[in-house]
Structure 1
Amino acid sequence: MTVITRLGGPGTAPCTGPGTAPCTGPGTGPGTGPGTGDGPCIGPCLPVPQEPTIRIIPTVGRFFFIPNSDLQLTNPLMIPADQFVDDNGNAVASFPNLDQNSYHNLYINGILQEGGSYSVSTNALNINPTTETIYAGTPIILETVQFSIQIIT
């Protein structure tokens, strides 16, 4: 969006609109301001650049898996993406490919897990080995957050 501003002579305030709209600020030329009278702006109409509006748009995805049997974490555990469902209960073919403007969180039984305890690819969630067990029926939730920007001029 561009605002057209009409500028008066040197030292005058801008006025808005086409033609010879009255000045609206202080100045030394025709217009409204200290020690001056009312009158039309004099000079060409010039576009005044406007600051762009920047919107940050988050896109959140949540993926759910509930194991039917206990999962022993004595070895690395890989859970394929196609074992998960999304917020609407729809099967998932893959996870989003995350970049530097994105992140993911893993929750096991509602508890946020340390970032170094797992990794995510588009095809699978990989949980690093520990001495723990994830029991049958324990919810595993992968949350992804991606940020994009929209510049409005």
Structure 2
Amino acid sequence: MIIPEIEVLPTMIRYFYVLMSEVNLDAPFVISADQFTDDDGNHTFQSIAVGPNTSSTVYINGMIQEGRIYTLTPVALTLHSPGDMLLAGTPILLEILYLTVQVVT
């Protein structure tokens, strides 16, 4: 009997956005997928592939954020943190870890 080897193949994708103006997070602030750029500065995203085999992390100004302040869907990242304000020029990084499995016989 041959026992197959299973390889987990992680892929990390980063999406970048910089605020053009001050944002009050008392109300939800939505950044659509097409507003993000990739590592090369290209606006190439029509949707963000999120699902059961993904894990997401949001960084604001280089600081990792609690999952309670954001919601991620294939079409947008929504930030909501009453009492908080983000200044113009603040960088927002969305990092998605995609996991796929490959069976090697």
Same fold (TM over 0.5): yes
Match of 2:37 in 1: 85
Unaligned runs of 5+ in 2: none
Deviations 1:89-145 (A, max 9, x none): 11022211x222211000000000001110111111001132111111110000001
Match of 1:95 among 33, 48, 64: 48
Match of 2:81 among 86, 105, 129: 129
Alpha-carbon deviation of 1:50? 2.6
Give the number of the structure whose residues are more often strand, by fraction: 2
* TM-score, reference length from structure 2: 0.93
The alignment partner of 1:59 has SS state of strand
Alpha-carbon deviation of 1:74? 1.5
Which residue identity lines up with residue 95 of structure 1 in the other structure? I
- Larger Rg belongs to: 1
Superposition CA RMSD, Å: 1.1
Unaligned runs of 5+ in 1: 1-48
CA contact (8 A) 1:77 1:129 kept: no
* TM-score, reference length from structure 1: 0.65
Q: How many residues align?
A: 104
Q: In 1, Cα distance between the equivalents of 2:37 and 2:81?
A: 24
| Structure 1 segments (4+ residues) deviating >4 Å | none
